[in-house]
């Protein structure tokens, strides 16, 4: 379920769970536990954090202990009060894991644990361990006992480099209906933000001064962020001076973007109603439909009665509710641009003199045949699966440059293709010819994720460097010697070979 401002997904696992505590690896496998299942739901309260709700159940009564594992892409992590974990990195983002609700787990941290149980490893990121094809990463184990049924609700909140965020869990007894309620405070003195999970969607569930008939809901006014109201598969969410109501059951969200702007959206069409104590008494907010880029796309005819603002909403359309001088586009644009901004090498740009296509030419360069490097040292290896000859790894740090001296036999326009692999979601390289970028776009060429490092299986992929038009970029080279310099701008990648070739033919 999804609307602008909220996503919700859920999955079940009813496999053959086995009791591995105290298990001897030399002996036979333990007998499966029949009738044990695990359900995980994830609520994304956009754009700030996720709420992960784990439910474990057993058909037969009896004590059990469950562990929720979180592999963390950070330099370090530490356990904090309430079963939480704070992860930090000096230059990269961090994260807070904070359990809320009635279950307070025991938090344990492992990293690169080789003995049974083997934990704290990742193929994608982490600390390199010599002789091990995996990487050691901080891993949080949140452990709790349960009998018959158990719930663990965890807030997963990304943080800026060096930031340390603390949440205060709040106990929230259910006053009507059946389900689960959990809450937290971001700042002392704030009203508790409330998470509700309804056992009987369509029936009213009340807790913490909030009520919903939805399957899942979240409501809170967060310090420095404002209103966050999320309703999943329901018609109504109310509390704390806020009402979000749909004409028919659906998923909707109301998200503040400053002191005088709220964006509201739903995945069902019909009359949509909002009451909020944010706008001044006697004020009738203006309502405008927003386009995909969040620019105004037309006014919506809205009415205000008894403090409730309502209008006919289209499914999948975001609406700006504003009562001051601000706009959703102006408030969101800097954040959206920052989210999609990418590192770029600061280097001179010098266009190459145009040459005709290098017909029939193909100049293959093995990755390990570099003439120099700076800012780091790659490791040449013959151990990567399906590599042509040798390849190199440990091209991990931004600024690490690898340079090749190339003898171009014939003047012409060449395409450049790389054979690489990466398990990083964001890997980028700058490409310089004779000390300059042939085009500004080559300051951050993206190397898409390939699924791994070619350690256990072939993860190699071919990438032909493209220009802003999406077509192969043409490197106009004169005959003779040139230097080709590849600089790490972001992320890690392994390189097998590179090839300068006729732009109209495959390498």
Q: Which range (2-6, 60-64, 228-232, 457-461) has the least confidence?
A: 60-64
Give the mean pLDDT of 51-55: 97
282 pLDDT band (50/70/90 cuts)?
confident
Q: 165 phi and psi, to 5 degrees?
A: -105, 140
Averaged pLDDT for residues 199-222: 96
Q: Hey, what CATH class is 2-235+242-256 in?
A: mainly beta
Confidence of residue 125 (pLDDT cuts 50, 70, 90): confident
| Cα atoms in the Cβ-side hemisphere of radius 13 Å centred on 225 | 21
Query: What pLDDT is stored for residue 372 in this prediction?
Result: 96
Give the lowest-confidence range in 128-132, 164-168, 454-458. 128-132
Structure confidence at residue 32 (pLDDT)? 78
Q: How confident is the model at residue 484 (pLDDT cuts 50, 70, 90)?
A: very high
Residue 58, CB half-sphere, CA atoms under 13 Å: how many? 18
The three-state DSSP-derived secondary structure of 48-109 is CEEEEEEEEEECCCCEEEEEEEEECCCCEEEEEHHHEEEEECCCCCEEEEEEECCCCCEEEE
pLDDT higher than threshold 60 for residue 212: yes
Cα(130)–Cα(76) distance, rounded to whole angstroms?
Answer: 20
Burial class (CB in 10 A: 0-12, 13-18, 19+), 152: buried
Q: How many whole angstroms separate alpha carbon 77 and alpha carbon 466?
A: 39
Which residue is it, tokens 């370090």?
A: 76
DSSP secondary structure string for all residues of 253-278:
EEEE-SSSEEEEEESS-EEEEEE-TT
Domain boundaries, the chain: 2-235+242-256, 362-501
pLDDT for res 339? 45
- Where is 169: in which H helix or E strand? strand 168-170
pLDDT at residue 281 greater than cutoff 70: yes
> In which residue are the tokens 């496998």 written?
29
Q: Sign of dihedral through CA atoms 395, 401, 405, 408?
A: positive
Give percent of the chain above pLDDT 90: 71
- Greater confidence (36 vs 246) lies with 246
Task: Give the model's pLDDT for residue 44.
Answer: 98
**Per-residue confidence band for 21, with pLDDT thresholds at 50, 70 and 90:** low
Is residue 3 within 8 Å of residue 40, measured between CB atoms? no
Exposure string for 392-407, b = 16+ CB within 10 A, e = fewer: bbebbeeebbbbbebe
2-235+242-256 against 362-501: fold identical: no
| Model confidence band, residue 18 (pLDDT cutoffs 50, 70, 90) | confident
CATH of domain 362-501: 2.60.120.260
- The answer to whether residues 345 and 399 touch, using CB atoms and an 8 Å cutoff, is no
Q: Which residues contact 16 (CB under 8 A, 6 or more apart)?
A: 32, 33
Contact 196, 176 (CB under 8 A): no
């Amino acid at each position: 379920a999804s609307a602008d401002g909220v996503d919700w997904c859920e999955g079940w696992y009813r496999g053959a769970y086995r009791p591995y505590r105290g298990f001897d690896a030399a002996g036979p496998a333990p007998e499966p536990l029949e009738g044990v299942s695990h359900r995980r739901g994830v609520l994304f309260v956009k754009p700030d954090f996720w709420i992960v709700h784990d439910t474990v159940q057993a058909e037969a009564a009896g004590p059990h202990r469950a562990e929720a594992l979180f592999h963390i892409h950070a330099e370090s992590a530490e356990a904090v009060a309430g079963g939480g974990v704070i992860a930090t990195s000096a230059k990269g983002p961090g994260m807070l894991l904070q359990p809320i609700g009635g279950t307070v787990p025991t938090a344990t941290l492992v990293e690169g644990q080789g003995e049974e149980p083997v934990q704290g490893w990742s193929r994608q990121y982490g600390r390199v361990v010599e002789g091990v094809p995996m990487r050691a990463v901080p891993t949080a184990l949140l452990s709790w006992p349960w009998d018959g049924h158990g719930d663990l609700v965890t807030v997963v909140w990304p943080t800026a480099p060096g930031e340390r965020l603390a949440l205060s869990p709040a106990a929230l007894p259910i006053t009507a209906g059946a389900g689960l309620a959990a809450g937290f405070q971001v700042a002392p003195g704030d009203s508790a933000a409330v998470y509700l999970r309804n056992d009987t969607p369509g029936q009213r569930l009340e807790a913490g001064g909030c009520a919903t008939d939805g399957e899942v809901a979240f409501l809170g006014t967060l310090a420095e962020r404002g209103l966050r109201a999320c309703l999943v598969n329901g018609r109504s969410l109310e509390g704390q001076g806020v009402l979000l109501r749909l004409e028919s059951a659906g998923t909707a969200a109301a998200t503040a973007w400053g002191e005088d702007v709220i964006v509201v959206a739903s995945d069902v069409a019909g009359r949509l109603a909002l009451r909020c104590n944010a706008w001044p008494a006697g004020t009738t907010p203006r309502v405008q439909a927003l386009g995909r880029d969040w620019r105004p796309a037309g006014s919506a005819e809205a009415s205000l009665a008894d403090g409730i603002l309502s209008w006919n909403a289209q499914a999948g359309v975001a609406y700006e509710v504003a009562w001051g001088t601000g706009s959703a586009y102006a408030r969101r644009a800097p954040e959206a641009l920052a989210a999609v901004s990418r590192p770029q090498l600061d280097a001179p740009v010098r266009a190459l003199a145009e040459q005709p296509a290098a017909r029939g030419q193909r100049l293959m360069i093995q990755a390990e045949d570099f003439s120099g490097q700076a800012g780091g040292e790659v490791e040449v290896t013959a151990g990567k699966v399906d590599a042509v000859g040798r390849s190199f790894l440990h091209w991990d740090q931004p600024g690490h440059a690898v340079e090749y001296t190339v003898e171009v036999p014939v003047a012409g326009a060449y395409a450049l293709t790389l054979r690489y692999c990466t398990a990083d979601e964001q890997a980028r390289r700058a490409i310089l010819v004779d000390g300059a970028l042939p085009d500004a776009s080559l300051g951050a060429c993206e190397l898409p994720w390939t699924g791994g490092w070619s350690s256990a299986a072939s993860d190699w992929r071919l990438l032909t460097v493209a220009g802003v038009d999406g077509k192969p970029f043409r490197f106009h080279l004169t005959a003779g010697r040139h230097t080709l310099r590849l600089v790490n701008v972001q992320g890690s990648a392994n390189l097998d070979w590179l090839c300068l070739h006729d732009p109209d033919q495959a390498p």
